[in-house]
Every structure is written in C-alpha cells, then in structure tokens.
Amino acid sequence: MAKNNQYETAPTRPIWSGALNFGLVNIPVHLFSATNPKGLDFDFLHKKDFSPIRFARVCKLEEKEIPYEQIVRGFEYRKDEYVVLTEEDFQKANVKKTNAINILDFVNESEIESIYFERPYYLEPGKGAQRPYVLLLEALKKTKKVGIANYVIRHREHLGAVKAQNNIIILNQLRFPNEIRKIGNFDLPKEELTQKEIEMAKSLINQLTETFHPEKYKDTYTEELKKLIEEKAHGLTPKPKGQFPKPTPVSDLMATLRASLEKEKTRQPIRSP
C-alpha cells in the first residue's frame, strides 16, 4: 500500500553547519533543505505473494549480511585494491572547503542559465552571527547580485549561488559545466515558418500570459493516483482517465492555433488561493 510521504514542519536539524565566507568575513550558518517532496512512497514487493522486499548489504567474499557499523568507504585505485577513507580523511583533503561556503564572485542572477540550477537550501545564521548575516543579506538585496560559491557536503564539492530572498539567504546548488550534457546529435527541426504562423503562436502565448503565482498550481496527478489506489484496494478495476495526446498534423497547424486562440478567449483564469 502506498504511504503518503509528507511532513509539514520544517526540519529541526541542519544538514550541515559551517561558515559562509564573504571576503574576510566568516558568518557561522546552518544549512537546511528548502524543499519538501510530497509524492507517494511505494514499496517493492515479491510478485508471487506481495511480501515486502528487503535490500541487504552483503559481503561478496563471505556472502553474508554486514551491519552498517562494520562498513567503511573505500576507493578502488587498482583492480581489487582499495584505499579506505575515514571521515577525518575527507576533512583533510581540504579543511576550508569542508567547513565553509566560500563566495568567489558576484554576478547577475540572470546570467545563470536555468539548466545549472539543481537544489535550493536555506541558510540560518549561527550563534552571534545575526549582524554580519543581515549585512550580507541587505547588501545582496541592494546590489541585486548573487554570490557564486564553492563548498563540500557529503564528500562532494558543489557550486552554489548565494542570494537574498525576502528576509533569508538562499543557497541554490548549481551544476558544474562538466555535469551538463551537450546537445549532441538530437534530431532538431530546421523548419522554415511563415510570419503568419509565428504571429499566431505569439498571440496564443500572450493570451496565456499571467503573473506567476506558484501556489495556484497543484500536483493533481498524486491525488488521481490516490483515487486509483483506493479503487484497487476495494477490488475495483480503475478506468483510464484522460486520452493519449495525438501529434498535431502539419497541415492542421494553423487551424489548430486558431482554434486554440478561440478556446482561450473563453477560458477562466486559474485564481490563486
């Protein structure tokens, strides 16, 4: 049975604690996740009898399960030869990076392409750090800049964008350029469009344009999935909801755009709560 993986309160324990470096100023901070996934949590079951599947940590040599406290982290530097690393070793590799978020540069946020953004965090000031924290917060607001920083969390170096949002400093984790896949050999279109087609598509976009209010957009699929689960739990056979979208034929493109424009004229805008 699916379980609702939701929690409403903010986490009480930080993911990481250290310093936020701003020039020669070190600001003690605590790092908290800014996201709270609301999806359903599914279990893996044995198809034969629906009993839950348990994943075990098994030693390849002894072929037996090993308790967590007896497991260490190692790097295979030659075939079947490992260097074991302790938590202290990960710190020793770069003491500063493992204990600080180091602002390297300041840039305009608009210069950062959306493909680089990965995960947001909240930064809370540590004990006695309120004044320097507020100083950086206000300076970021006044200059409308974001700080590009590097830091190490969970044994990996990350790139981040430090920005002011309302009355808190946000750290947006960024991807490094070498983590972005190149476009490659995609079958991208090279169609020549008529001015009329472009103008009609622009009209449709303009007609659908509204002020962004994120609270008005809901995860309706999860609710629909819950209903399906409820039906199956009561021995019912769920019926497919909706229809599979069919590609619009090129010959019907203008007619479909025109029909879309007419339909949107009567559309009631989605109201924010």
Q: 272 lies in a domain? A: no
**Domain shared by 92 and 140, yes or no:** yes
Name the CA radius of gyration of the chain, rounded: 26
**Number of separate helices (H) and strands (E) present in the chain:** 6, 13
What does the alpha-carbon distance between residue 124 and residue 229 come to, in Å, rounded to a whole number? 40
The type of residue at 6 is Q
Q: What's the confidence (pLDDT) of residue 7?
A: 38
Q: 270 lies in a domain? A: no
* pTM to 2 decimal places: 0.79
**Domain shared by 11 and 84, yes or no:** yes
Q: What's the confidence (pLDDT) of residue 271?
A: 56
**Domain shared by 124 and 226, yes or no:** no
**Domain shared by 144 and 241, yes or no:** no
Q: 115 lies in a domain? A: yes
Q: What's the confidence (pLDDT) of residue 217?
A: 85
Helix, strand, coil share (%) of the chain residues, nearest 5: 30, 30, 40
**Domain shared by 81 and 149, yes or no:** yes
Tokens 């659908």 -> residue = 208
**Domain shared by 59 and 120, yes or no:** yes
Cβ(16)–Cβ(31) below 8 Å: yes
13 three-class SS: coil
* CATH number, domain containing residue 109: 2.40.290.10
* CA nearest neighbour of 40 among 218, 229, 239: 229
Q: What's the confidence (pLDDT) of residue 190?
A: 83
Q: What's the confidence (pLDDT) of residue 152?
A: 93
Q: 188 lies in a domain? A: no
Longest dimension (CA), the chain: 71
273 three-class SS: coil
**Domain shared by 46 and 115, yes or no:** yes
* CA nearest neighbour of 248 among 212, 195, 204, 208: 204
Helical H segments across the chain, by residue range: 87-93, 95-99, 130-143, 195-208, 220-233, 253-265
Could you list the mean pLDDT of each consecutive 10-residue stretch along the chain, which spans 273 residues?
A: 46 89 94 90 93 93 93 93 91 85 96 96 96 97 97 92 97 96 85 88 88 88 91 90 80 82 72 53
Q: 190 lies in a domain? A: no
Q: 189 lies in a domain? A: no
Q: 271 lies in a domain? A: no
**Domain shared by 167 and 253, yes or no:** no
**Domain shared by 96 and 173, yes or no:** yes
Query: Which DSSP letter does residue 179 get?
Result: G
Which residue segment(s) compose the domain that 45 sits in?
Answer: 1-183
**Domain shared by 222 and 151, yes or no:** no
Q: 156 lies in a domain? A: yes
Domain count along the chain: 2
The type of residue at 104 is L
**Domain shared by 91 and 6, yes or no:** yes
**Domain shared by 125 and 165, yes or no:** yes
